[in-house]
Amino acid sequence: MPGTRHHAKVEVDEVSRTEGADMLHNAARRRLNISGEEFLDRWDRGYYDDTDDPAVADVAMLIPFAR
Partner 1 sequence: MPGRTPREAVEAFLTPLQDTLSCVAKAKITLSEGGYTTVGRVHGLTLNRNEAVKPKGAHHLLLRVQMQYEIVPVDEPGRDPWRVTTRAYNHEVQNSSGEGVVSYHWHPQSRVKDPHVHLGHTQLAKDVVLHNKLHIPTARLSLEGVIRHCIEELQVKPLRDDWDPVLATRKADFEAFRKWNQSPPAPTVAPKPDAKNKPRRPGKRRSL
Q: Which residues bind partner 1 (CB under 8 A)?
A: 1, 3-7, 9-17, 19-20, 23, 26-27, 43-54, 56-58, 60-65
Taking the complex as a whole, the smallest distance from the CB of residue 38 to partner 1 amounts, in Å, to 14
Residues recorded for the chain: 67
CA distances (Å), origin 36, targets 12, 15, 41, 48: 24, 17, 9, 14
Taking the complex as a whole, the smallest distance from the CB of residue 58 to partner 1 amounts, in Å, to 6
Would you give the end-to-end CA distance of the chain in angstroms?
A: 37
Taking the complex as a whole, the smallest distance from the CB of residue 39 to partner 1 amounts, in Å, to 13
